[in-house]
Amino acid sequence: MANFFKRRMSWVNTRMGFFLLTIGLFWVKTYIAYQTEFTLGAKGSVQQFLLLINPLPAALLVFGIALYFRGRLAYWLMMIINVLESTWIFANILYYREFSDFLSFGIMKGSSDVGNNLGKSLAQITHVYDFFVYVDIIVLIILLVTHVIRIDARPFKRRYAFSITVLSFGLMFAEFGMANADRSGLLTRTFDNNYIVKYLGLNEYAAFNAYQTQKESATRASANASDMKSVLKYLKQNRVSPNVSYYGKEKGKNVFVIHLESFQQFLIDYKVNGKEVTPNLNKFYHNQNTLSFDNFYNQVAQGKTSDAEMMLENSLFGLPQGSAMTTYGTQNTFQAAPAILSQQAGYTTAAFHGDVPSFWNRDNTYKSWGYQYFFSSSYYTEKSGYSVGYGLKDKIFFKQSAKYIEQLPQPFYAKLITLTNHYPYELDKKNTDFPATKTGDKTVDPYVQTAHYLDQAFGEFMTYLKKAGLYKNSMIVAYGDHYGISNNHRPAIAQLLGKSKVTNFDLAQFQKVPFMIHAAGLKGGINHTYGGEIDVLPTLLDLLGVKNTDTIQFGQDLLAKNRNQTVAFRNGNFISPTYAKIGGTVYDTRTGKALSLTTAQKKTVDKMQNHVTTELSLSDRVIYGDLLRFYTPKDFTKVDKSSFTYKYKPAMEKLAEAEKKEKTSALVKNKGKETTYKTDAPELK
Ligand code: GP9
Ligand code: MN
C-alpha cells in the first residue's frame, strides 16, 4: 500500500509537481472561502464558471515567481507566498464578516479614520474555522520536513518558469475578456468590490484596488489649500440669493427623498392604450402643493445612480469616468446633506436601499456624508420571490422600510432608493398588470411595466405616510436619477415619442427626469426653469431655511430669481432656455432646429460653454484633490466617520436609545402602535 502510494505520488517530488500541488490546494481553499465566507452572488453559468476558475491565473503568476529561484529557496518562497496570500484571504474574511465588503488599501491606510469602524475586537469576530486557510500550508510544511515529499534540488529551467508566467497572463486576459463581456465597464465604472472578486478574483481585486488608491493618493498629494481659491472665486461670482417667498417655508419638516430608479420625465402623464403608466406620480406631480419642474435634467455619467446621489447630496458633479463614490467616497472629506442637516438642524439621517451595502461603495461613502443609519439588504426580510435584479422589489422594500422610518427621531432626513424599474426591466407575471409598449424593441417595451409597478409602490407608500401622520409634517421630494432607455434605442424612442425620427436634440430632451417637491401648504405648480441634479441641494436647504451661504456647492437654488439656467451635461454639452449645444451642433432650444450662428450668437454660446467647462472642471478639482479638507464652512464640523456603524444590532440599539431619549418618532407619537402598511404585493399575501 505504502509503496503503491509512493509510486503514485512520486510526481510531487519534482519541483513542478510540488508547485502544482501547492496551487491546487490554494485554488480549492480560495474557492471554499468564496462559497462559504463571501456573498458574491454569482448568477448563471458564465459567472459561476469565472468564480470557479478565477483563483488560478493569479496563483500561477504569483506562486510562479518561486520557480525562478533555485533549490530549497524555491520551496520556501512558495510557502512564504502562500502565507501572504492566505493572510490576504483571512483578513478579507474577517473584514467581510463585519462590513459585507472587501478590504481596500484606502481603508487600511486611513485606519485611524475608518478602521475603528471595526465595531468589535478582532478576537470577537474571528472563528476557529477561519484558520482553515492556513491548513494546507501546515500540511505541506509537515510533508516537507518529514521528507514525505522530497525537495527536488535539480535546477529548474528558466524557460519553464517563464512559460508559466506567460500562461498566467494569457489566462488572466481570457478571464478579463469573458468577465467584461458579461458585465461591461467592470473596471471603468467600478460598481462594487464584490463584482471584481466575483469576476476576476481576490488577487486581481487587490491589484486593482492598489492602483486606484495610488491614483487617488497622487491627485490628493498634488493638491493644496490654495487650489480652493479659484473654486471660492467662482462660487462667489455664481451665488444667487434665495427666493424670499420660499426661503425657510419648510423649516423643521421631515424630508423624504424618493429616488425613482431610471425614471424619465416623459413617463409623467404618458399613456399606453389610453391608460396612464404612472397615475400616482401624475397626481403627485399635478398636486397644488407640489412644486414640479419640467425642464429638469439628469447630469450623470458612468457612475449612474452614484453620480445622481453625489450631485443630489453634495452639489458636486460625478466624475467624467467611473464613480466618485467608489473611488473617492471612502477617503475624501465631504460636506453633504445628511451632515449639514444633522449638524445645523438636528435631523436624524437615514438611507434605505434593498441592495447590498457595498454597491457603489455606499457603505463607506455614506459614512463620509454623515448618514447615521443605512438600512440595506441585511435589514430586510428576504424570501424567495421578494427580489428581482439588484434587490428587493419596490413594494416590499417600501413596506419593510416603514417599520424603521417609524422609529426615527423627528425631524429626519430619509432617502429611499428604489430598484425595480432598472434595466432590463424584468418583473414576474404576478406583478405585471400593465400593457407593454409595442415598439418591438425588447429592452424598451417592458420599461412602462416596471415604471407602473414603481408608481404603484410609490402610491402605497404615500397612503402609508398619510396614515402614519408623516405626510403632513414632511417635505417629500421625488426624482428620477437617469434615463431608463439609452440612446442606443433611437427607433424605439421615436415611436414612444410619436415621431418619425429623433435628432440629437430630441435625445438631449429625453434626458429630462422628474423633480418634485411636495409639502402641505407649499405653493406648488409647474416651474419651467432649466436646471438639473446639481441644483437640488441648494434648493432644499433654502426651503428648509438652513444656511448655505458659504458651502462649496456648484448648483443654484431652482427657485431663485436670476439663476443661471445653463444646464451642464457631464460630457460638456449643455442645454439652456435659448441654446443647446449637443456634440458640436448648436440648436435653438425653442424650435429644436440646428443653427448656424451669427457672430453675436456665437459669443453667447461661447460664454455658456465657458461656464459649463469651468464648473465641471472646478468640481472635478474639488473631488480629485480632496479640496474640502482645506475648507470648512462656518458652523460645520468635519464628519467623524468612525462614529457610524451600519451593522444591524448596534444600529437598532441606537434607535431604541434615541427613541427613549427624544420621544419624537412617529411610533412614539402613535403611542407605540405600528401603522399598518397596505400593499397588494402578491408575495406578501
Ligand atoms: C444598485 C442600484 C443601481 O444598488 O442603485 O445602480 P445603477 O445601475 O442605476 O447605477
Ligand atoms: Mn440608477
Cell of residue 141, nine digits: 510544511
Euclidean distance between CA atoms 17 and 2, whole angstroms: 19
Determine if residue 286 is labeled as part of a ligand binding site.
no
Cell of residue 347, nine digits: 435631523
Euclidean distance between CA atoms 485 and 503, whole angstroms: 15
**In terms of DSSP bridges, do strands 254-260 and 412-417 run parallel, antiparallel, or are they unpaired?**
parallel
Average pLDDT over residues 258-271: 98
User: What pLDDT, in 10s, does the model give residues 59-91?
Assistant: 999 999 999 999 899 999 999 999 999 999 999
pLDDT of res. 2: 58
Question: Is a pLDDT exceeding 80 seen at residue 120?
Answer: no
Q: Ligand 1 within 6 A of 390 CB?
A: yes
Number of H helices, E strands in the chain: 26, 18
494 C-alpha to center of ligand 1: Å?
26
Better-predicted residue by pLDDT, 279 or 8: 279
User: What pLDDT, in 10s, does the model give residues 362-399?
Assistant: 999 999 999 999 999 999 999 999 999 999 999 999 99
Nearest CA to ligand 1 atom 5: 305
pLDDT of res. 114: 41
Question: Is a pLDDT exceeding 80 seen at residue 176?
Answer: yes
Determine if residue 489 is labeled as part of a ligand binding site.
no
308 C-alpha to center of ligand 2: Å?
8
Cβ neighbours around 100 below 10 Å, total: 20
Question: Is a pLDDT exceeding 70 seen at residue 4?
Answer: no
Q: Residues lining ligand 2 (ion), CB within 5 A?
A: 304-305, 481
Task: Assign 3-class secondary structure to 307-323.
Answer: HHHHHHHHCCCCCCCCC
Atom of ligand 1 nearest to the CA of 303: 10
User: What pLDDT, in 10s, does the model give residues 603-627?
Assistant: 999 999 999 999 999 999 999 999 9
Secondary structure percentages of the chain, helix, strand, coil, to 5? 50, 10, 40
pLDDT of res. 112: 41
DSSP string for 419-447 = -SS-TT----GGG--SPPP-SS-TTTTTH
DSSP string for 262-330 = T--GGGTT-EETTEES-HHHHHHHH-TTEEEESSEE----TTHHHHHHHHHHH-----SSS-HHHHHTT
Question: Is a pLDDT exceeding 60 seen at residue 116?
Answer: no
Cell of residue 674, nine digits: 405600528
Query: Contact, 291 vs 527, CB < 8 A?
Result: yes
User: What pLDDT, in 10s, does the model give residues 428-485?
Assistant: 999 999 999 999 999 999 999 999 999 999 999 999 999 999 999 999 999 999 999 9
Query: From its phi and psi, is residue 362 left (phi > 0), alpha (psi between -120 and 50) or beta?
Result: alpha
Q: What are the residue boundaries of the structural domains of the chain, listed by start?
A: 2-221, 242-669
509 C-alpha to center of ligand 1: Å?
22
pLDDT of res. 9: 77
Atom of ligand 1 nearest to the CA of 308: 10
Cβ neighbors of 446 (< 8 A, separation 6 or more) are 424, 425, 426, 427, 436
Nearest alpha-carbon partner for 569 in 255, 211, 318: 318
Nearest alpha-carbon partner for 580 in 633, 511, 526: 511
Q: Ligand 1 within 6 A of 305 CB?
A: yes
pLDDT of res. 188: 85
Q: Give this prediction's pTM.
A: 0.89
83 C-alpha to center of ligand 1: Å?
37
Query: Contact, 626 vs 220, CB < 8 A?
Result: yes
Q: Identify the band that residue 148 occupies on the pLDDT scale cut at 50, 70 and 90.
A: very high
Nearest CA to ligand 1 atom 3: 305
Determine if residue 101 is labeled as part of a ligand binding site.
no
Determine if residue 14 is labeled as part of a ligand binding site.
no
Is residue 418 annotated as part of the catalytic site, yes or no?
no
Residue type, 277: V
Residue type, 28: V
Q: Identify the band that residue 667 occupies on the pLDDT scale cut at 50, 70 and 90.
A: very high
User: What pLDDT, in 10s, does the model give residues 24-41?
Assistant: 999 999 999 999 999 898
Q: Which of 290, 305, 349, 450 is catalytic?
A: 305
Nearest CA to ligand 1 atom 7: 305
**In terms of DSSP bridges, do strands 254-260 and 474-480 run parallel, antiparallel, or are they unpaired?**
parallel
User: What pLDDT, in 10s, does the model give residues 287-332?
Assistant: 999 999 999 999 999 999 999 999 999 999 999 988 999 999 999 9
Determine if residue 432 is labeled as part of a ligand binding site.
no
Output the average pLDDT for the chain.
94
Question: Is a pLDDT exceeding 70 seen at residue 275?
Answer: yes
Atom of ligand 1 nearest to the CA of 417: 5
Residue 465 class from Cβ within 10 Å (0-12 exposed, 13-18 middle, 19+ buried)?
Answer: buried
User: What pLDDT, in 10s, does the model give residues 219-259?
Assistant: 899 999 999 999 999 999 999 999 999 999 999 999 999 99
User: What pLDDT, in 10s, does the model give residues 618-662?
Assistant: 999 999 999 999 999 999 999 999 999 999 999 999 999 998 899
- What's the CATH number for 242-669? 3.40.720.10
Q: Identify the band that residue 110 occupies on the pLDDT scale cut at 50, 70 and 90.
A: low
Q: Ligand 1 within 6 A of 359 CB?
A: yes
Q: Ligand 1 within 6 A of 246 CB?
A: no
Residue type, 35: Q
Lowest-pLDDT choice from 61-65, 125-129, 268-272: 125-129
Cβ neighbours around 614 below 10 Å, total: 15
126 C-alpha to center of ligand 2: Å?
36
Q: Identify the band that residue 215 occupies on the pLDDT scale cut at 50, 70 and 90.
A: confident
Backbone φ, ψ for residue 320 (5° rounding): -60, -30
Residue ranges of alpha helices (H) inside 100-190 are 105-109, 111-114, 122-125, 135-145, 158-182
- 323 alpha carbon, closest ligand: 1
Atom of ligand 1 nearest to the CA of 356: 4
